[in-house]
Amino acid sequence: MFSHLQPTPIDPILGLMAAYKDDPNPLKVDLGVGVYKDEQGHTAVLDCVKKAEALRLKNEDSKTYIGMAGDLSFNRHIEQLAFGQHKVLLSGRVTTAHTPGGTGALRVAAEFIKKANPEATVWVTNPTWANHISLFQAAGLKVKEYSYYDWDTKGLKFDAMLAELAQVPAGDVVLVHACCHNPSGMDLNFEQWKQFAHLAKEKGFTPLVDMAYQGFGLGLEEDTQGLRYVADLVDELILCSSCSKNFGLYRERIGACSIVTADSKITQIAKSVLLSVVRSIYSMPPAHGAIIVSHILDSQELTALWHQELAVMRNRINDYRQLIIDKFVAEGITQDFSFITKQHGMFSFLGINKEQIERLRKEFSIYMVGSSRVSIAGLNHSNIDYFAKAMAQVLKA
């Protein structure tokens, strides 16, 4: 039966990574891959993680399974990071399973939605993270897009977004990014979050909040402001979290799927369904990364260190947003790129065309996604001048 298989298209970002790796140009710049890099272009292990790993290795006495819900201490910490002292936690309305990464959390959420309402449509922002649509479709769910990013103004199509979501039927699911929208970097402000929350309550659709970058936007607490307001109003929501970026645990694949229900009795039912989904996909999650996170958040000293290291990453990205504009101006670029400083997280659309993107790759070995999405974290003091000069060249034509 395998002889009839047809090759599937290569993911554009994975193809870009391969092309970058094979490029012999010593000046090459990778602005495609969505991982944080420091000034040396390296994705280092955080010091708080190293200390927590040492503690884990010293105290670990078993490699047995940790159960379908994963590490319970980790789950509690993730819930508290997301909701703080919110009423949904205090009233027992949340159940969480730790998952293999944020991607695993989304797939678990997709299968949970399928069990709760097989006819549900999942609505995603246009544009959204490239893997969102395929994850939900793989679970047999219908997926539609709603207006979000405005390519002309480099802002949000918020009025169009509200108008379209007002037509979403009760029982459907609307995915919204908690912060650091991937791929645009454009986030809802708090007033817009309020309007979204009231619309969700009025229309009866279920918010699915994807929080892959908590702490990378405005701060750990600030990045949950919209989520917590939504939780104030609606009876039900789904939260997918990731520790890849804010703890630098990319390859450990640590995330969580949290279900918020109307009351604690329904929560127990939802928990049983959530765990049955987990059982049918991967049975038990990996333990290592989750226990590292638990060790960090169990310790005041390591938590303080994590906050410091997270702030360094966040501030470096924010500083480079302004530095990009300064360098562009110094190179005589007159096109307005001020929108870059209004965005949050690692990503931004530059708004240049495909021909210019191709020239950057062919003539300067500067790699970015075909949509002009760039990862700000790929820039550093050794390559930003080169990038600015290259941009000046391609924008002149």
- Write out pLDDT tens, residues 338-387: 999 999 999 999 999 999 999 999 999 999 998 999 999 999 999 999 99
Average pLDDT over residues 5-32: 87
Are 131 and 215 part of one and the same domain? yes
- In sequence order, the 6+-apart residues with CB closer than 8 A to the CB of 148 are 125, 126, 127, 128, 156, 157, 161, 181, 184, 186
- Write out pLDDT tens, residues 308-330: 999 999 999 999 999 999 999 99
Q: Among 6-20, 206-220, 325-339, 361-375, where is mean pLDDT lowest?
A: 6-20
Are 389 and 342 part of one and the same domain? yes
Please identify, among 298, 330, 349, the residue that sits at the C-terminal boundary of a domain: 298
State the pLDDT confidence band at 11, using cuts at 50, 70 and 90: confident
Are 37 and 112 part of one and the same domain? no
- Write out pLDDT tens, residues 237-250: 999 999 999 999 99
State the pLDDT confidence band at 17, using cuts at 50, 70 and 90: confident
Are 129 and 265 part of one and the same domain? yes
Q: Return the SS3 of 262.
A: coil
Residue 60 forms part of a structural domain: no
> So what's the pLDDT on residue 319?
96
Q: What is the pTM of this model?
A: 0.95
Residue 125 forms part of a structural domain: yes
Average pLDDT over residues 205-230: 98
Would you say residue 149 has pLDDT above 70? yes
Residue 79 forms part of a structural domain: yes
- Write out pLDDT tens, residues 268-298: 999 999 999 999 999 999 999 999 999 999 9
Residue 50 forms part of a structural domain: no
Q: Among 7-21, 80-94, 107-121, 233-247, where is mean pLDDT lowest?
A: 7-21
Please identify, among 298, 314, 331, the residue that sits at the C-terminal boundary of a domain: 298
Residue 58 forms part of a structural domain: no
More confidently predicted of 52 and 397? 52
Are 139 and 27 part of one and the same domain? no
Q: Which CATH number does the domain housing residue 271 bear? A: 3.40.640.10
| Mean pLDDT of the chain, nearest integer | 96
Are 237 and 333 part of one and the same domain? no
Count of structural domains within the chain: 2
Residue 51 forms part of a structural domain: no
Q: Return the SS3 of 177.
A: strand
Alpha helices in the chain (DSSP H): 12-22, 47-59, 72-83, 87-90, 101-116, 130-138, 158-165, 190-203, 225-233, 264-281, 288-298, 300-330, 354-364, 384-396
Residue 142 forms part of a structural domain: yes
Of 129, 154, 193, 223, which residue is the catalytic one?
129
Would you say residue 151 has pLDDT above 90? yes
Range of the domain at 372: 11-45+302-396
Are 350 and 282 part of one and the same domain? no
Average pLDDT over residues 135-164: 97
Q: Return the SS3 of 234.
A: coil
CA 377/CA 35 separation, integer angstroms: 7
Are 108 and 229 part of one and the same domain? yes
Average pLDDT over residues 63-76: 96
Are 215 and 317 part of one and the same domain? no
Nearest to 238, CA basis, from 264, 270, 285? 270
> So what's the pLDDT on residue 38?
95
User: What is the percent of the chain where pLDDT is above 70?
Assistant: 100
129 carries an active-site annotation: yes
Are 221 and 139 part of one and the same domain? yes
Are 202 and 269 part of one and the same domain? yes
Are 171 and 239 part of one and the same domain? yes
State the pLDDT confidence band at 16, using cuts at 50, 70 and 90: confident
State the pLDDT confidence band at 397, using cuts at 50, 70 and 90: low
Residue 200 forms part of a structural domain: yes
Average pLDDT over residues 90-97: 97
Of 28, 245, 271, 327, which residue is the catalytic one?
245
Q: Which CATH number does the domain housing residue 39 bear? A: 3.90.1150.10
**Sequence letter at residue 341:** T
Of 28, 210, 271, 327, which residue is the catalytic one?
210
Please identify, among 274, 298, 322, the residue that sits at the C-terminal boundary of a domain: 298
Nearest to 291, CA basis, from 2, 17, 76? 76
Would you say residue 12 has pLDDT above 80? no
